[in-house]
Structure 1
Amino acid sequence: MALAAVHENSLTAFENLSSLVADSMRLVDALIDDHLKSDIPLIEQIAKHIIYSGGKRLRPALVILASHIHGHISPSTIALAAAVEFIHTATLLHDDVIDESDLRRGTPTAHTVWGNTAAILVGDFLFAKAFELMVTTGDLRVLQILSKTSAVITAGEVRQLVESHSFDLSIEASLQIMGAKTAELFGAACQTGALVAGASDQDALDFYHYGYNLGLIFQITDDVLDYQVTNDARGKVPGDDFREGKITLPVIYAYQMATVEERKFLNQTMIELNQTAEDLNRMRHLIESHKGFEKSLALAADIMRQSQPLTHKQGDFKVLLNGLLRECLTRNK
């Protein structure tokens, strides 16, 4: 399917992207399956448990899209898309252990089924497999970018562990953690996908910035949805951030305006994790009353407006990616 035709039909941007990359994603899935084969069945069981649990597969799709814009989806593109998916999956396995999450997309997390040690070790295995796939591209720039990205993601995890369970967390620090944990891989997926298709360094860097902004907006709206959606079709359990005591943007905005009594409630539920069944609804009302959701989405909209213009050659990419950005901003409606 030609990209110029994709945005002329009635599909959403997410559906357009999925349709556009469907054939390539089948190749990516086949490559993933091949690289998960092991003499140790537990590795394949745990990895497939999370890889095929119903996520949008947005990061590998962005790799393919960025290559497609330059008219050349090669074996390197497919290998790179699989590598990006492995990196993402590894971080999810580690995240769920750190956050002590019981469910992901409505399915029991790997560590609740097989234990913390197995989940962490399989995450490490997937990181190793990602770098094995990167080497096949033969592009040192890809290795440099994704090596740096992996380090940034891990550093973001450590920073979140240290800072994100305190109301001392600022808006700026929260955005930096989101940038490290989420947006950096979105940006790297776009940048490296463009590079292996022959894009100039500057064009690829433009793609990085759009991908990075998409990642930030995706995470901000996800944090809003965690409180606003009561029946999430994506399989995410609403209220997880609250139950885990995660200080996200809507909560930070609410805390800034909260009364002394409200701050006492926030500390009790989010820091001490002393929660009752009614507290989630009370938290929703508190955030809404102090415009925490509204301010978070306004910040996301501002990030979208700040996206730099692309060249004429990349115009179709901008149309589709801007569609994804808009859908991220409105998926709580």
Structure 2
Amino acid sequence: MDKMRLKLLYSDLKSDLEVIENELAAAVNSSSHLLNEASLHLLLAGGKRIRPVFVLLSAKFGNYSIESIKQVAVSVELIHMASLVHDDVIDDAETRRGRETVKSQWNNRVAMYTGDFLFAKAIEYITAVKNTYAHEVLSHTMVELCIGEIIQIEDKGFVDQTVRDYLRRIKRKTAILISASCELGAISSGADEKTVRRLKRFGYYVGMSFQIIDDILDFTSTEEELGKPAGGDLLQGNITLPVIYAKNDPTIHPLLQKVFDGEIEEREMQVLLDEIRQSDGIKRAKQISNMYLQKALHEVKQLPTNSAKKSLQNVALFMSKRNF
């Protein structure tokens, strides 16, 4: 139901999103049968295509043309796809969106080269944009994404993380690519500098809110809704905001340590998940997510009035209130 609601929010982009989908299928095509299979496996798993949607909506604040904008939309989605493939290797994840991951279907080697291939195709696509500043934005984004992944590896199993540690990590892991999607959409359509900056900030705030909700859902949603095991982040050693707020509870802290020492039993894991759900960690994390959402909505209010303005607001509200 929620996925249907999301599609309705940007139903006026349906034909343009079909163009993007077809272009993505063409982009992952190569002379290697194995690369084709692995890339299509990920592409056919679907996704919300949030980043291309933000590219298209942001481009509406300039001279909109799907033929020129599609290069940017495909590029940012390819980067997102590549980061997911690499993520699954790092986290040793078996499923994503209810399907086997590339590393699970094939192996780590195939997954890493598939991710590298998708990154390379993203760079190839962005070269069609003549504004060289767009190239700078994309390359900087890719660098920050990689740094974010390394920081996440360094932070794995480190119980005494702070809220600041977490926020800096998700900025690189998630928010920066959504921010770049908005910025690049506006740049490539020739929007004015003030609007470009505002859309960039909007994307950052939405991205922060989005990732915090994602981390909350890892505890509050079912495996069926998530397409992966509930509490999966914790089992992979990743400390998220609800855990940071709840970790000093005398019941939770020792169980967390057992998780990261690899000594926790299935029964104890269920106790830990229940304790986190019942703690104030979920509520406090939602408050931080809402703070970022309000900042994003403030940026939208300052944008020039057009058909995309209301859509940006609605998609931002949905992303921060969703349950999948």
Which bracket does the TM-score occupy, shorter chain normalised? over 0.9
Is 1:262 paired with 2:244?
no
Answer whether contact 2:252 2:276 (CA < 8 A) is retained.
no
Structure 2 counterpart of 1:130: 122
Go from structure 1 to structure 2 and tell me whether the alpha carbon gap of 1:18 and 1:236 turns closer, same or farther (over 3 Å shift).
Answer: farther
> Which of 37, 43, 46 is the equivalent residue of 2:35?
43
Q: Which residue of 2 aligns with 1:278?
A: 267
Q: Which residue of 2 aligns with 1:322?
A: 313
| Structure 1 alignment gaps of length 5 or more | 1-10
Task: Give 1:56's match in structure 2, choosing from 48, 52, 63.
Answer: 48
**What is the identity, as a one-letter code, of the residue corresponding to 2:189?**
A
1:265 corresponds to which letter in structure 2? Answer: L
Q: Which residue of 2 aligns with 1:290?
A: 279
TM-score, length basis structure 2? 0.92
**Aligned partner of residue 199 in structure 1, secondary structure:** coil
Q: Which runs of 5+ in 2 are unaligned?
A: none
Q: Counterpart in 1 of 2:110?
A: 118
Quick check: 126-135 or 64-73, which moved more? Answer: 64-73
The aligned counterpart of 1:6 is: none
Give the match's secondary structure for 1:233. helix
1:109-151 deviation digits (Å, cap 9, x = unpaired): 1011111111101111111111111001112011000100000
Query: 4+ runs of 1 displaced by more than 6 Å?
Result: none
Aligned amino acid, residue 271 of structure 2? R
State the shift of 1:317 in Å: 4.0
The answer to whether the 8 A contact 1:134-1:143 is kept is yes
Equivalents in 1 of 2:116, 2:181: separation in Å?
20
* 1:216 to 2:208 alignment: yes
Moved more, 155-164 or 65-74: 65-74
Task: Note the C-alpha offset of 1:263.
Answer: 1.6
Q: Does 1:225 align with 2:214?
A: no
Q: Distance in 1 between matches of 2:150 and 2:304?
A: 39
CA shift in 2, pair 1:66/1:17, >3 Å:
farther
- Is 1:313–2:278 an aligned residue pair? no
Partner of 2:292: 303
Which amino acid in the other structure matches residue 293 of structure 2?
A: M
The percent of aligned pairs where both chains have the same amino acid is 29
* TM-score (structure 1 length as normaliser): 0.90
Query: How well do the aligned residues superpose, as a CA RMSD in angstroms?
Result: 2.0
**In the alignment, what sits opposite 1:331?**
322
Looking at structure 1, the residues matched to 199 and 4 of structure 2 have their Cα atoms a distance apart, in angstroms, of: 21
Task: Provide, for residues 212-246 of structure 1, a one-character-per-residue CA deviation record: whole Å limited to 9, x for no partner.
Answer: 11111111111111111125435243221132121
User: Does residue 26 of the first structure (1) align with residue 36 of the second (2)?
Assistant: no
Return the letter of the residue paired with 1:266.
Answer: L
Amino acid at match of 2:312: L
Aligned to 1:172: 164
In the TM superposition, residue 14 of structure 1 has moved relative to its aligned partner by: 2.2
Aligned counterpart, 1:193: 185
C-alpha distance in structure 2 between counterparts of 1:239 and 1:320, whole Å: 32
- In terms of mean alpha carbon deviation, does 84-93 or 301-310 score higher? 301-310
Cα distance in 1, alignment partners of residues 245 and 306 from structure 2: 36
* Mean CA deviation greater in 286-295 or 105-114: 286-295
What amino acid maps onto 1:230 in structure 2? T
Q: How many residues align?
A: 320
Change (3 A) 1:312 1:330: closer
